Amino acid sequence: MNSLHDASWAAQVALGLMALASVGTWAGVLLHRWFRGPLLSPQPWEPVPWSLGIVIWAGFLWIALRLGAALLAQVALGILSQGRPEEMEWTPAAVVLVLMCESAASLVALLAICSMLQPLGARKTQMGWNLSHWRKDVLLGGLIFLLAVLPVYGVFFLAQMLTGNEELHPLLEALEEMDFQQDGPALVWLTAGALVFAVVVVAPLVEEFLFRGVLQAWAETALMNLAKRSAEVVLPEASSSSEEEPAGSSANSPLWAQVVSDPESARSGDARVPWWPGWLAVAISATVFAVAHWGHGVAPAGIWVLGVFLGLLYQRTRRLLPAVVAHAAFNAWGLGLFFLQ
């Protein structure tokens, strides 16, 4: 994301059209909710078997592998200058190698973490790996992108105006300093392909698994257990079918108002908890998600808002694919805006 007043006319037109599309999507979703009900049916919650220690170890493994891969790539290219990254001389070849090494390290971390969770009794569905509704999930991810793009970029540009900080992502700053006209078309296309693979494919896949599938799922489990221990969970007594349905127990009740201790109860949705565990779990994952992008100017402000949308989306579906698609759409849109400058 770049500053608004420095954007080219093409970027400003693209932003304006996207803003109109976002407003139209919001209008459509609100009308659908008023006349036909929510777009998404709440999915019952199910506890996950991993602990905070596993979450911390997963994050450490991901960061360590990425940093190690990037460092090895930089050393191999001979562009590491006295251990100070700000003095590196970036070239298209260097960008391609670093991106490919970091992407490979992220995928290795993803596979390692999945292998670490399975012996704990974690099922694929508990980790969010469920492609049974992939067509619907792809469309849903695109819809959430259109809903989130206006508030995310609104917060980002507001933060830029308030702080005067127009710092870009380090990768985008490196790309700005390059003169691609001096490079052959093959290298230009190779660089573009590496960017798309790393930023639009690998980063959304790995980050959504870590921040939503691992961190948020653990946080919701821990907070639900805290609510139980605090005696804030109200388990309604069994009632006959002729009795009036308890308030808030309809199919359209919020997802975070449904808690279960086993899959069978999950399907019946007969236990209730306060609203706060689900919301707080989303806030935690969004905050860590934003902090992970620290050093990218004021981007973490907008990224936090994006994290809330993605967290609520994962909470509503219990599947990673919609969040991955929405995240990938945001990254692709950001790259597109950058190249329109």
Q: Are the C-beta atoms of residues 209 and 333 closer than 8 Å to each other? A: no
Residues 6+ apart with CB under 8 A from 232: 273, 274
**pLDDT value at residue 235:** 41
Of 322, 311, 267, residue with least CA distance to 131: 322
Coil, strand, or helix at residue 272? strand
**Of 319 and 6, more confident:** 319
**pLDDT value at residue 276:** 83
Could you read off the pLDDT of 49-65 as tens digits, one per residue?
Answer: 999 999 999 999 999 99
Q: Are the C-beta atoms of residues 126 and 48 closer than 8 Å to each other? A: yes
Of 104, 100, 331, residue with least CA distance to 208: 331
Could you read off the pLDDT of 80-98 as tens digits, one per residue?
Answer: 544 455 555 667 777 888 8
| Phi, psi of 169, rounded to the nearest 5 degrees | -60, 135
> How far apart are alpha carbons 152 and 293 in whole angstroms?
15
For residue 304 the two structure tokens come to: 């936090």
C-alpha separations of 2 from 169, 234, 278, 309, 335 in Å: 9, 48, 33, 21, 10
Total residue length of the chain: 341
Q: How confident is the model at residue 244 (pLDDT cuts 50, 70, 90)?
A: very low
Helices (H) and strands (E) in the chain, counts: 12, 0
**pLDDT value at residue 189:** 82
Q: Are the C-beta atoms of residues 203 and 332 closer than 8 Å to each other? A: no
Q: Judge whether residue 23 has pLDDT over 80.
A: yes
Q: Judge whether residue 232 has pLDDT over 60.
A: no
Q: Judge whether residue 47 has pLDDT over 70.
A: yes
**Of 265 and 168, more confident:** 168
Could you read off the pLDDT of 109-166 as tens digits, one per residue?
Answer: 999 999 999 999 999 999 999 999 999 999 999 999 999 999 999 999 899 888 887 7
**pLDDT value at residue 7:** 62
